[in-house]
Amino acid sequence: MKLSENSASAGLVVGCILFGLGSIIVAHLPIGAYAIAFWRLAVASVIFLILARLFRQRFPRSSQARRCALIAGLFLAFDLALWHESIYAVGPGISTLLNSLQIFWLSAIGFMLYRERQTPLQLFSMLLATLGVVLIGSPEFSHNGNALWGFTSGTLSGLCLALSMVFVRKTHEAEPTPIFPLMLLISIGGIITLIAPMLLLDTGKILPTTWQQVGWILVYGAVMQCLAWGLIAYSIPMLSLALTGLLLLTEPVAALIIDTFLLGKNINTLQWLGATCTLTAIYLGSLKKSK
């Protein structure tokens, strides 16, 4: 790898871990899935506007670049909302694992749109990652009546995340776009998308009721959206989509550890074996990147 690719990989991993930590905030806030996603993006949009003006970064002149960034925000909005629904149903660790099934969506899209071919080692790592996700998630069905919805919403959130990342990449292809204007456009696209479903589905659970909840929303928007997602969006154009998907698997493993040691969720030996498979898949997938 080149130095820039190494830096992008490191930034992507850090962003994913921070992103996963946001699941703890979501699990403890009595706010609807669409509403908390709305407030996250609203807080982030203010911060990105200030940063864009402070650093004098210009917005893309290309209408196609602006449109792709807004569409990336649309898919990110549904990724967040569905991920939140999955957190409520099956917990932060498993929901984040399900969200990480975007590895398969990214690889398929990378092959169809960018002709990114997979090496045998990468294909094996994907199979190993699949096994890891199955081992971690399958025991949940034996004792959780919300498991089906949790797995469905978590998997769909992964598809939305993959599509959001593809449109981030398409934005850069249309016109190289500075990070702060890019993230502001993504946030705006997400905010607009979430207004209607928030009002329809989260009635009575839209507004925080204490100053503590307001503080956690500010943290969720500033750290998880601005810092974490900013690192992810910055790193994506420097990496292949297949490698991006594999590195993003660091997020569910971190969330699983947090779910166990901070939130007290009972994770059995089979599930820890699945986490080990997932970590191994990340390592094998990063050994060699197909061009």
Tell me the two tokens of residue 183.
Answer: 């993230």
Tell me which residue of 149, 231, 137, 251 sits closest to 183, measured CA to CA: 231
More confident residue, 35 or 288: 35
pLDDT for 291 equals 40
- Sorted by where each begins, the domain ranges of the chain are 3-115+141-239
Phi, psi (deg, nearest 5) at residue 290: -75, 140
Query: pLDDT tens digits for 97-125?
Result: 788 777 677 777 777 777 777 778 777 87
Cβ(194)–Cβ(81) below 8 Å: yes
Give the CA-trace dihedral at 57, 63, 69, 70, to 10 degrees.
120
Question: Based on C-alpha coordinates, what's the Rg of the chain?
Answer: 18
pLDDT at 1 > cutoff 70: no
C-alpha neighbours within 13 Å on the C-beta side of residue 254: 19
